[in-house]
Chains A and B, each alone.
Chain A
Amino acid sequence: MSNDGQPAQDPLIDEAQAEQRRSAAARLFDIRRVIGGLFVAYGIIVTLIGIFDSRAEIDKAEGVRINLWAGLAMLAFGLLMLLWQWLRPAEPPAPNEKQPGS
C-alpha cells in the first residue's frame, strides 16, 4: 500500500475532524480501576459466603467449595487489575499526537 498524501476529502467528515480540537476525550477515566474495584468487592462477598457455606450448599455444587474458590479467584483478578493500573498508568497523550486537522 503506498503512503502518499491524504485520503479523499469530505466536508461532513472534515467538520467533525475540525471539532476534535475541542475534544474532552483525554478526561476519560481508567476502566481498570472500576473493573478492579467491582471484582475485589465481589471477591470479598463471595469468599465470605464460601467460608460460611453449609454442607447442603457444598453438596449442591458436587462437593466443590465453589463459593470459596470463585471468591478467591475474583479477588485475585480484581487485585491484579488494580496492580496493573498502578504499575502501568494510562499513557498521557503525546504532545504532537493529535494535531488539529491532521
Chain B
Amino acid sequence: MDGGGLRLNMNGLDYLILALYFVTVLGVGFAARRAIRTSVDFFLSGRSLPAWVTGLAFVSANLGALEIIGMAANGAQYGVMTVHYYWIGAVPAMVFLGIVMMPFYYGSKVRSVPEYLRLRFNRPTHLLNALSFAVAQVLIAGVNLYALALVMQALLGWPLWTAIVVGAAIVLAYITIGGLSGAIYNEVLQFFVILAGLIPVTVIGLVKVGGWNGLMDAVGDTKLGEAGLHAWQDTGSTANPLGAHWIGIVFGLGFVLSFGYWTTNFAEVQRALSAKNMSAARRTPIIAAYPKLFIPLVTVIPGLVALVTVKGLGAESGDLQYNNAIPLLMRDLLPNGVLGVAVTGLLASFMAGMAANVSGFNTVFTYDIWQAYIRRDRSDEYYLRVGRWATVAAVVIGIGTAFIAAGFSNIMNYIQALFSVFNAPLFATFIIGMFWKRMSALAGFWSLLLGTLVSLSLYLLYKGGVVDFNSDLEESFWGAGLAFVTAVVVAAIITPLTSPKRDEELRGLVYGMGGVDLKGDVLAGDAVWYRSPVLLGLIAVALAALFYIPVF
C-alpha cells in the first residue's frame, strides 16, 4: 500500500459513533442468547420471526461490502447498465423464490437447502451439495474479511491483521452467542446503518454535480460518454459499456445466474426459513425486493458522481481504482460526524456479508454433514454445541483464508466467481425436481455433478486461454447457461432409465403432489390483501420494469 492517500481524517466523535455500533452489535448477540434452548432456536431462530425482520435480513445478507463497493465501482466503470444487476438480475428471482419455491422449502420443514435435496433425491446429491456449499461459504467469508481489512487499512490506517482479527472476533462473538437470531437482528440493524452511511454521500455528491440533470450532462463528457446513461440502448450488439447483448442480459444474468443465486443460496434462504409461518416465509424475499429496487440509487449514483468528480478514476492500481469510488467520495465530501456514520456503514456491510456466510455454514455443517453422516441420534443439546463449535471453526478458517487471499487476491476473486457459476446447475436440478415428479434420485445426482463439471471446465479453459470471451462477465453468462442446459439434458436422459421415487416420498416437495399447506398456520392479520405474497411480488416486478423507463 502506498502513501495512504485514501486516509480519512477521523476524529474522536467519529470513533465514538463507530464504538457505539460495536457495543450495540455485541449487545444484540448477548440479548439474543436467552431465546436459545434448542438447535432450531440457534440455527433457525426457532422459526419465530416476523416477515419485515426476515425480509430486511434477507436483503442485508446480500449487502456485503463486496456488493456495495463493487456495485459503485461498476457504476463508475459501466454506467447506468449496472442497474441490470438489481432490476432484472435480482428482483424477478426474489419474487419467484417467494411465490413459487418457498412453499416447498418452508412447507416441507427442511432445515436447509441441501436437506431439500436429501428428501427429494438421495444422500449422494445431498452430500455433494452440502460439502460444496460449506467450502464455498468459508472461502467467501475469508474474501469478505480480507476486503474489510484492506478498506480499514486504507481508510483508518489499521494494520491488516488487526482489522482481520477485530472484524472476525465481533462476528464470531455475536453468532456463537446469539445464533441466527443474533445474526438476523444485527443484519436488520446493519441494513439501516448502511443506508445512513450511503445516503449523505449520495446527496452531497448530487449537490456537487448539480443534481440529476447535472450528473447526466457531466457523464456524457466522461470517457463513458452518452452510452453510460442507458440501460438497454445498444444492447442489440455487444458494443455497449457492459459488453453484453440483451439476450445475455435477459437469459444469462436475469434468468440463469440470478435465479441460481437467489433461489438456491442457503445463506439467503435461511432467513426465510426462520420466519414464523408460511405467509411470512413467502413474503420474506418479496419484502427484500423492495429495498433492492432502490439500492442502485445509493451505489450506482455515487459511482457516477465519482467518475465525474474524481480526476483519473479508473487506474489499474493505486488509490484511483474503480473500487475506491465510495471511499474517495467519503474522503472528499463528508465532514466529521456523518463521516463516522459512513465508515460505520461500510463496516456494518462487511459484517452483514460475513455473518450470512458463517451462519449458513454452521447450519449446513451441523445438520447436513455432522448429524447426517458423522454422529447421528445424539441429543438436541449435542447438536447445539456442535453448531457453536462449527461457528468458531468457520471464523478461524475464514481468518486463514483471509491471509491466503492477502497473498493471492486475484485468485480469491476467481474462486468467488467460480462458485457463483456453481449455482446454475444447482438451480436447474432444483427447478426440474420441483416440477417434474418423475425425475429420479440418480438423475438428480448426475445433473448436479455433470452440470457443475461443465461450468468448472469452461471456466478453467477460459482462464487457461484455450477458450476466448469478451469479458469475465460474458464467460459467466455462457458458463452458467451451458451448465443449466447440461443439467436439463442429463435429467432428461437418465430419468427414463432409472426408477422413480414413490409418490408418498414426494409429498410437500414436488408441485402437484399435495402436502403443501399455504394457509394452515396463518395469523389473523395475514389474510389482508396487502400481505398477499402474490400481489406484493407482482407489484415489485412491475416497479422494476417501470424504473427502466427513465434510463432506457
Contacts and interface: CB of A to CB of B under 8 A. Distances in A.
Interface in B20-60: 20-21, 24, 27-28, 31-32, 34-41, 45-50, 53
A42 B196 contact: yes
Interface residues of A, number: 56
B367 A7 contact: no
A70 B49 CA distance: 30
A64 B41 contact: no
Pairs of residues from A and B, 4 with the lowest C-beta to C-beta distance, nearest first: A7-B508, A25-B46, A25-B48, A57-B335
Contact of B40 (A8, A23, A58, A94): A23
B208 A28 contact: no
B115 interface: yes
A100 to B, nearest CB: 13
Given A8-B507, A19-B40, A46 B337 contact: yes
B41 A23 contact: yes
B394 interface: no
Given A3-B517, A7-B515, A74-B196, A42 B507 contact: no
A70 B338 contact: yes
Given A6-B507, A7-B516, A28-B45, A13 B109 contact: yes
B333 A60 contact: yes
Interface string B75-117: 0000000000000000000000000000100011111000100
Contact of A66 (B35, B50, B204): B204
B338 A67 contact: yes
Contacts of B110: 13
Given A7-B109, A64-B207, A1 B516 contact: yes
B380 A62 contact: no
A27 B35 contact: yes
Given A62-B204, A66-B335, A70-B341, A29 B31 contact: yes
A87 to B, nearest CB: 15
B472 interface: no
Interface string A13-24: 101110110111
Contacts of B337: 45-46, 49-50, 53, 66-67, 70-71
Given A28-B35, A64-B204, A67-B338, 4 more contacts: A6-B515, A10-B119, A13-B111, A45-B337
A50 B337 CA distance: 8
A51 B334 CA distance: 16
A3 B514 contact: yes
A28 B507 CA distance: 33
Nearest to A57: B335
A31 B188 contact: yes
A2 to B, nearest CB: 4
A38 interface: yes
A71 B199 CA distance: 12
A50 to B, nearest CB: 7
Contact of B506 (A5, A8, A60): A8
Interface string A48-84: 0110010001101111101100110010010000000
A62 B207 contact: yes
Interface in B323-340: 332-338
Contacts of B511: 1
A63 B207 CA distance: 9
A49 B336 contact: yes
Contacts of B39: 16, 19
